[in-house]
Amino acid sequence: MSKPVKSPPGRPRSAQSHQAILQAALELLAEVGFDRMSIDAIATRAGVGKPTIYRRYKSKQELVADAIESCRQEYVVPDTGSLWGDIDALINSAAQITFTPLGRQTVAMMISTASSNPQFAQVYWTKYLQPRRQAFAVVFERAKQRNEIQADLDPDLVFDLISGIMLYALVFQATTEPLEGYIRRTLHLLLREPPS
Amino acid sequence: MSKPVKSPPGRPRSAQSHQAILQAALELLAEVGFDRMSIDAIATRAGVGKPTIYRRYKSKQELVADAIESCRQEYVVPDTGSLWGDIDALINSAAQITFTPLGRQTVAMMISTASSNPQFAQVYWTKYLQPRRQAFAVVFERAKQRNEIQADLDPDLVFDLISGIMLYALVFQATTEPLEGYIRRTLHLLLREPPS
Amino acid sequence: MSKPVKSPPGRPRSAQSHQAILQAALELLAEVGFDRMSIDAIATRAGVGKPTIYRRYKSKQELVADAIESCRQEYVVPDTGSLWGDIDALINSAAQITFTPLGRQTVAMMISTASSNPQFAQVYWTKYLQPRRQAFAVVFERAKQRNEIQADLDPDLVFDLISGIMLYALVFQATTEPLEGYIRRTLHLLLREPPS
Amino acid sequence: MSKPVKSPPGRPRSAQSHQAILQAALELLAEVGFDRMSIDAIATRAGVGKPTIYRRYKSKQELVADAIESCRQEYVVPDTGSLWGDIDALINSAAQITFTPLGRQTVAMMISTASSNPQFAQVYWTKYLQPRRQAFAVVFERAKQRNEIQADLDPDLVFDLISGIMLYALVFQATTEPLEGYIRRTLHLLLREPPS
DNA sequence: CGGTAAGCGAGACGGTACGTCGCGTCTTAAG
DNA sequence: CTTAAGACGCGACGTACCGTCTCGCTTACCG
């Protein structure tokens, strides 16, 4: 059989260009940051025309949001059998994503965009934080069943506190103590355990 | 002995222009935000030539940093006689500064600048957060003497957690519950009191 | 063999913009003169962005040179049947071009540019003076055949003298006698006729 | 009666600064030309403040005019005993002044300024050309008395023609034959002598 | 001889124009 | 009908000079 698919004239590169654009955007985001990254540069590096980008995204923010979104890895709720094991896994996972040049840029862009363009923060919240918050709730539920923590402890509040302190450490990186200890001390305080 | 500092030759820089520039920068920052604010617009509103701005600041960030810096008001440690009274005063003070268009822009700019220009975050930390952290320690010390809280509670950790949660709320403003209650619940949790 | 000239890729430059730029440049040149004419003003009047101008011309001089070049009209050798008739036609033609605001600006720019940018004068010479010089030679040849002038009179030298005196009158306009009489007296002298 | 003019109160203007300004102006005029020469550069090179320049001259043109004026050397009517000897002396004198970078700039500036600022050309005419025109008339008068030329030859017209042709040659330097021969041929033609 | 008024170098001032860069859109030719 | 290429109108950028002004200091004269 010869090719029966007579696809509409000329769209074969679509996926390829798409990937090249996202790749170039991510590279440049990590290299020079959001502000200094130009659409022209992305197009050139991706070997793509500017309209090809604008056909897909209305703005730089949209493009970058999608680029960041595209490289999110599979997310699984850890289940190591103990509360602290699960927590370590969650924190490591978050730290690996956040405390890199790309992660910093992501957060920076999101924050600086947030006031003028709240839906961008919304996207980040929904796509990224929400699942982790729910995962955290699952971890907490298991811990409660194991009697590792009190039954009335609000997992969302704890999660938000941890997220906040990570954000805080991200911003004032050089001026605060190492992040790990910070988070550990916080959790011990919240869980009413003596620091180990 | 006379002062060793000699006034430099030439016409001194106009303090009046300086003020006008800072004023215009703050106004525009609050009105349109950092990104949409042009140096031309600042110069025009301040009734000043562009070079007069560039003579003082190498970049928009430097200018805005100085503008923000210039409008920090006097800071006093509250002493209402009770822990929660003091805390309310501190939180209100922080909220008044942070949860305004100008405050949001300040934080946004600071964060987006932080990775490429860490000393900017450093300045914010030193000039703004540090004093409040110390004030918080004083308030805690008084509360401990009144036996309102446990003696081993680390005020810095609590302060950083509160700061973090405020930052978090600032970024994800629309997606979380109202800030006040959030902070109150957090503090009750940390201070091991039942929510009132 | 096919044409070796390939049309370059991308959107071609707009002939419409090109015309508008030249038109605006000529207008402003005549209105305010070369020095007081800004590229911004040209762009605005032409309804065109500044980069569109700079894409075509590296400097104001280049632009103006092209603008002037673009409005050179068709040139025909006069043939009135008598030497003086032809000469009158030539001089009138030259005067109409030169002794106008635009003409003055043209010559002024050319001269002030000449030392730093000799090829500009070269262009003017080749495109404008050369044809007239040749026309003058033709007129002279006809006059010689009619025995109106001596056979050994060098038309180029006479032409250059006339051109020189016109230039001289252009520069020192207010301080010399009216041009027409000047040129007439000169020609009578050169042609060894008594002034009529 | 002694001088009724009272010297004005206050510190008199420094002759030294004056000289330095003129010197710097001439150097820069020859080096970079009128347009690319900035008052700032003149002030810096002269080791002088800008107001010191503006106190003396209202504009760049005025300054440059004075600078050029200041370096005019003594002018004497040649009297070699023969017409052609005198003419050679006059032409050499003119050529020495005109066909140098500084001379070209002078003429260029004058011409480009002439239309917007005719009095500048007027100054050049009065201070520079007028004396030479008169000298030329004297030389002609002597030649007529020696019967070297016809009595009815108008020295002013001849002078203007020579001036014009020199101007012409200055502008179209590269495109015409060497100046000397040109002028000689012209004169022979005007004086009705066969070219020697 | 001491006051004083103008000149001095330096350089900041409000402006204007410069030439460049990036935006997001439009227009080609090629496939 | 999409692509790569690239020109378009727009507008902000940061720089260079303009001509004026304000400093703190001479410097020469005049009372």
Contact of A110 with A124, CB cutoff 8 Å: yes
Is strand E within 7 Å of residue D9 (CB)? yes
For residue range B58-98, what is the model confidence (pLDDT) as tens digits?
988 889 888 888 877 677 888 999 998 998 888 888 888 77
Give the pLDDT mean for B166-193: 78
Q: How high is the pLDDT of residue A3? A: 45
What is the torsional sign of CA A58, A60, A65, A66? positive
Tokens of C148: 């109106």
Contact of B74 with A74, CB cutoff 8 Å: no
Is strand F within 7 Å of residue D7 (CB)? yes
Q: How high is the pLDDT of residue A7? A: 47
Q: How high is the pLDDT of residue B4? A: 52
For the CA atoms of chain D, what is the radius of gyration?
Answer: 20
Contacts of B166 in chain A (CB under 8 A): 164
Tokens of C104: 């003055």
What is the torsional sign of CA B160, B164, B170, B173? negative
The winner for highest mean pLDDT among B5-9, B99-103, B154-158 is: B154-158
Q: How high is the pLDDT of residue C183? A: 83
Q: Do C34 and D114 touch (CB under 8 A)?
A: no
| Maximum Cα interatomic distance, chain A, rounded to a whole number of Å | 73
For chain D, residues with pLDDT lower than 70 are 1-10, 73, 109-120, 174-177, 193-196
The winner for highest mean pLDDT among B102-111, C118-127, C166-175 is: C166-175
Q: How high is the pLDDT of residue B77? A: 86
A179-190 vs A155-171: helix axis angle to the nearest 10? 160
Domains in chain C with CATH codes: 15-70 (1.10.10.60), 83-190 (1.10.357.10)
Give the pLDDT mean for C129-156: 91
Of D160, D165, D176, the CB nearest to C176: D160
SS3 content of chain C, % helix, strand, coil (to 5): 70, 0, 30
For chain A, 196 residues long, the average pLDDT of each consecutive 10-residue run is 46 76 89 86 92 88 82 79 89 82 74 64 79 91 92 89 87 72 83 64
Is strand E within 7 Å of residue C12 (CB)? yes
Q: How high is the pLDDT of residue A119? A: 67
Question: What is residue B114's three-state secondary structure?
Answer: helix
Chain D residues at the C interface, defined by Cβ less than 8 Å, are 33-35, 101, 104-105, 107-116, 118, 121-122, 125, 129, 154, 157, 160-161, 163-176, 182, 185-186, 189-190, 192
Note the CA–C1' distance, D50 to F30, in angstroms. Answer: 30
Give CA–CA dist D94/D85, Å, rounded: 14
Q: What phi and psi, each to the nearest 5 degrees, are found at residue C69? A: -55, -40
End-to-end Cα separation, chain D, in angstroms: 62
Give the pLDDT mean for B179-196: 76
How many helices (H) and strands (E) would you count in chain D?
A: 10, 0
Is the backbone of residue D10 left (phi > 0), alpha (psi -120 to 50) or beta? left
Question: What is residue C175's three-state secondary structure?
Answer: helix
Contact of A144 with A151, CB cutoff 8 Å: yes
Give CA–CA dist B171/B108, Å, rounded: 9
- D:127-166 Cβ neighbours of strand F under 7 Å: none
Is strand E within 7 Å of residue C4 (CB)? no
Question: What is residue B188's three-state secondary structure?
Answer: helix
- D:23-82 Cβ neighbours of strand E under 7 Å: 44, 47-52, 55
Amino acid symbol at A159: F
Give CA–CA dist B34/B48, Å, rounded: 19
Give CA–CA dist C55/C21, Å, rounded: 12
For residue range D116-166, what is the model confidence (pLDDT) as tens digits?
566 667 777 887 888 889 999 999 999 999 999 988 889 999 999 999 988
Is strand E within 7 Å of residue C6 (CB)? yes
Question: What is residue B43's three-state secondary structure?
Answer: helix
Contacts of B102 in chain A (CB under 8 A): none
Compare B52 and B181 and report the one with higher pLDDT: B52
Question: What is residue B192's three-state secondary structure?
Answer: coil
